[in-house]
Amino acid sequence: MPSDLAIGIHDLSFRTTSLVLSHTELARRNGTDIAKYHKGIGQRAMSLPTADEDIVTMASAAAAPLVQRHGTDRVRTVVLATESSIDQSKAAGIYVHSLLGMPPNVRVVEVKQACYGATAALQFAAGLVHRDPQQQVLVIASDISRYDLGSPGEATQGAAAAAMLVSAEPALLELTGPSGLFTSDVMDFWRPNYRTTALVNGKESVAAYLEAVQGAWRDYHVRGGLPLEEFRAFCYHQPYTRLAFKAHRQLLETCGAQADEEALDHAVAATTGYNETVGNSYTASMYLALTALLDSPDDLTGRTLGLFSYGSGSVAEFFAGRVRAGYKAHLRGAAHQEAVGKRRAIGYEAYRELRERTLPTDGGWYELPHQTQGPYRLAALRDHQRIYEAA
């Protein structure tokens, strides 16, 4: 096996849900100064699922364009990362495998560690490809974030799925060098099995995130990583987009570099375009940041990007990727803009009604209303089973 084999992201696609609530509407109804949302946390809208949308329908919609473009002959593994799991036993990716018509000779697994899970899946995929460069791995991150109504986290809700095809000689981004790792046992954010909404210690969460930025970067540096000046831009996990700017300020200060607004904008601003209107998509968040950066007008050919993945609890990783020549020919910017732009705006009362609705748990037979605009839907519940179909 050649030692200089390039492995990374060959194709990248994301999708979100069919509904959107603007922060202007949320602020109007809860009495919050809109500047707290637009400037304070850097959010403008949040994606919301219809009754027949969930992590499976989003994941399938995100992955379908990759399957259509590349086929499935070389895909030997599907890894779905989520913290919005729909079953404590069966991997959600098996439903995706079925909806996409993939062959049976594929391993399918689900990965969980808060918002970090997709990066664990990406590294797992890279290892598989390194062992067998002929195979490809489909990695999907899919999540719906939910917080208690009226809680501080409510304005950061969101939903999206990002799908990546990992291969040798990738068209988009080559993973390079070592990873910097950091783990700490903290209770900054968690969701027990008996809850449908997450619990958050806001101050602890920000502090733990920034500590992880520092810890992961220092480990990256010790292990021979590139110096700060080699990076063109940085993609951070974005529970809300302003946190990415705080994270980069922390990194610059850790390195003894100037942390003015111009430096922050140069490194981070182009990564926030999708997350600011989709909201927090947990495992997909950092990969939406990467997608926004690649979809931006700037030519990043040959440039090195820093990627910081964080999952509460907490686990973090800093790693690097080099943008491949010709990457722009493989982007899906128009489709991504369409996915965001076609969402149906709803008012506050409709949002509250959606949030108060729950799926039955008695094992009866229930048909769900056809509301999604996407290609796949959760059609029914029967005998405690979820029934999916092409929409």
Q: Which residue among the candidates 10, 23, 97, 237 is catalytic per the annotation?
A: 237
DSSP string, 45-105: EEEE--TT--HHHHHHHHHHHHHHHH-STTEEEEEEE-SS-S-SSS-HHHHHHHHTT--SS
- How far is 124 from 278, CA to CA, in rounded Å? 27
Question: Is 237 a catalytic site residue?
Answer: yes
> In whole angstroms, how far apart are CA 272 and each of 30, 230, 290, 316?
25, 21, 9, 20
Of 273, 271, 264, 261, the C-alpha closest to 305 is 271
Name which of 121, 122, 123, 127 is nearest 109 in CA terms: 121
Q: Which of 115, 235, 248, 317 is catalytic?
A: 115
Catalytic residue among 53, 83, 174, 276: 83
Decide if 115 is catalytic.
yes
Strand partners, 144: 159
Strand partners, 376: 390
Question: At what angle are helices 241-254 and 202-222 packed, to 10 degrees?
Answer: 40
For residue 199, what are the β-bridge partners?
Answer: 190
The reply to whether 83 belongs to the active site is yes
Residues labelled as active-site residues: 83, 115, 237
